[in-house]
């Protein structure tokens, strides 16, 4: 028999992401993690005592917890060989012109200044362990919106930060939440006052330039009653032949009747261990919308969680994952329905090629208080060759019979019948395969904020070429 034709799918073009600058830093800790390193980080930041105490307690918890074994194999991750804090050789600026030329050029290539000029209300840009640029348009300030880097927020809004910081993601949550609590640096703080609707998105971009280093930014957002916000998060790093680690944390508080859309595009390099943690607490009639694109890293473990604690609180998760050669992307979503008439929708799609592994791992829980709750979960996976792997691992736990739950999962390959049909309509085989794959991803990608962040075009526009192999 004639050998079956295979579809070859190009990896996402990473050219602009893999340009690394010469490493210049003002301060860096030694490799590894101990109490003295934690004290050095806190002293460098001139933090209040309660924050240092939290860091040291987190370190204790980190040392007491085992490496998780229920997901991808993390046994090769050597945190003793990681630099956990690097301060770049610059101060934070509110003007792009004052940012050092090499750092500014990096963000120019990623399209951040252009996106800010055209369609963003505020931008924060982090380089290694510190925010190097931060700016908010006057309109936001007039509305009373607070948008700061986390270090400034700890000092200027200490009472608010202390009330919320690492309460949704306590250091005891898991080993890498404890790691984050010990060494966190950078990130964003946002407070949107009551009934204020922010019409233009805010974006923070996290760039890790140093090799053999970690990035541990903390994002804390509070959207007060009746308020609305769209926050965009972008991440990237150049490729190296040594391990890098990302263990950020995102804590979102959505008050009564408020609405928050949190969009993320993660395009880490293939030497990155991405162990990020994200959680949202949603009160009565509030809404959280997650839009997530995962395209990079050697291993990802990422499962944004929505805790729906108020009546008629809502959660929507829309995600797309692309796993290529050498990648294990273990992603998904978690929802806790903890109040009457709460509802959630999870819509996840993944593509795997060249031996890549794309896993959907989900958790849906309904408490006894969740009478009248509704949930719909839809997971679809597309494997582009016989070497790739994909699976769905949903867990559902219900303590109330008066709920409406639907779950659908599909795993498959490109259909020969579909290709034949499109070819009969005048397309080449290559064009047919490209159309099928783009059509598979399109319902997700149309939700991504392409109009706001120019660099996303380089991630979403997957190039397809048909070859015979």
Residue 90 lies in a domain: yes
List, for the chain, all residue ranges whose pLDDT scores fall below the cut of 50: 1-24, 450-469
Residue 353 lies in a domain: no
Domain span including residue 278? 16-302+414-418
Residue 468 lies in a domain: no
The whole-angstrom separation of Cα 156 and Cα 81 is 35
Domain count, the chain: 1
The whole-angstrom separation of Cα 301 and Cα 263 is 17
Neighbours of 468 (CB within 10 A): 10
For 417, the token pair is: 């019948």
Neighbours of 451 (CB within 10 A): 11
Residue 102: per-residue pLDDT: 57
Residue 153: per-residue pLDDT: 93
Q: Read off the pTM.
A: 0.85
Residue 10: per-residue pLDDT: 47
Chain centroid, CA 363 distance in Å: 18
Residue 390 lies in a domain: no
Residue 196 lies in a domain: yes
- Helix, strand and coil percent figures for the chain, each rounded to 5: 25, 40, 40
Residue 172: per-residue pLDDT: 96
Residue 396 lies in a domain: no
For 430, the token pair is: 């290559």
Residue 62: per-residue pLDDT: 96
Residue 22: per-residue pLDDT: 46
Exposed (0-12), middle (13-18) or buried (19+): which is 10, by Cβ within 10 Å?
exposed
Residue 456: per-residue pLDDT: 39
Residue 24: per-residue pLDDT: 46
Task: Quick: pLDDT tens for 226-280.
Answer: 999 998 887 665 555 567 888 999 999 999 999 999 988 777 777 889 999 999 9
Residue 189: per-residue pLDDT: 93
Residue 234 lies in a domain: yes
Residue 298 lies in a domain: yes
The whole-angstrom separation of Cα 416 and Cα 221 is 47
The Cα-based distances of 358 to 209, 327, 384 in angstroms read: 26, 8, 12
């Amino acid at each position: 028999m004639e050998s079956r034709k295979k579809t070859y799918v190009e990896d996402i073009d990473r050219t602009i992401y893999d340009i690394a600058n010469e490493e210049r830093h003002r301060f860096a800790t030694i490799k590894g993690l101990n109490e003295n390193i934690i004290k050095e980080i806190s002293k460098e930041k001139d933090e209040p005592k309660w924050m240092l105490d939290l860091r040291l307690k987190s370190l204790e918890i980190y040392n007491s917890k085992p490496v998780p074994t229920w997901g991808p194999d993390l046994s090769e991750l050597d945190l003793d060989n990681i630099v956990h804090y690097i301060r770049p050789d610059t101060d934070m600026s509110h003007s792009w012109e004052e940012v050092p030329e090499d750092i500014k050029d990096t963000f120019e290539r990623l399209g951040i200044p252009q996106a800010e000029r055209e369609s963003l209300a505020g931008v924060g840009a982090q380089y290694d362990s510190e925010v190097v640029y931060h700016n908010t348009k006057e309109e936001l300030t007039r509305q009373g919106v607070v948008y700061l880097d986390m270090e400034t927020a700890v000092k200027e809004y200490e009472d608010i930060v202390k009330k919320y910081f690492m309460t949704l993601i306590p250091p005891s949550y898991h080993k890498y939440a404890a790691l984050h609590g010990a060494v966190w640096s950078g990130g964003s703080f946002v407070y949107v006052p009551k009934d204020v609707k922010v019409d233009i998105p805010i974006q923070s971009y996290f760039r890790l330039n140093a090799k053999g280093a970690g990035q541990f930014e903390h994002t804390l957002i509070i959207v007060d009653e009746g308020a609305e916000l769209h926050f965009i998060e972008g991440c990237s790093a150049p490729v190296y032949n040594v391990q890098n680690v990302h263990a950020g944390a995102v804590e979102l508080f959505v008050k009564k009747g408020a609405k928050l859309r949190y969009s993320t595009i993660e395009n880490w390099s293939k030497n990155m261990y991405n162990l990020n943690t994200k959680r949202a607490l949603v009160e009565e009639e509030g809404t959280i919308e997650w839009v997530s694109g995962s395209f990079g890293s050697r291993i990802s473990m990422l499962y944004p969680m929505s805790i729906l604690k108020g009546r008629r609180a809502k959660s929507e998760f829309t995600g797309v994952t692309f796993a290529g050669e050498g990648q294990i992307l273990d992603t998904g979503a978690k929802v806790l329905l903890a109040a009457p008439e709460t509802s959630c929708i999870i819509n996840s799609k993944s593509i795997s090629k060249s031996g890549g592994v794309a896993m959907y791992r989900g958790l849906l829980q309904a408490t006894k208080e969740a009478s009248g709750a509704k949930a719909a979960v839809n997971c679809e996976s597309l494997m582009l060759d016989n070497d790739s792997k994909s699976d769905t691992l949903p867990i559902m736990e219900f303590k109330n019979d008066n709920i409406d739950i639907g779950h659908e999962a599909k795993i498959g390959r490109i259909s020969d019948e579909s290709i034949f049909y499109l070819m009969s309509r005048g397309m080449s085989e290559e064009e047919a395969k490209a159309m099928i794959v783009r059509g598979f991803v399109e319902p997700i990608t149309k939700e991504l904020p392409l109009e706001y962040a120019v660099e996303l075009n380089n991630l979403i526009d997957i190039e397809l070429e048909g070859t015979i192999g």
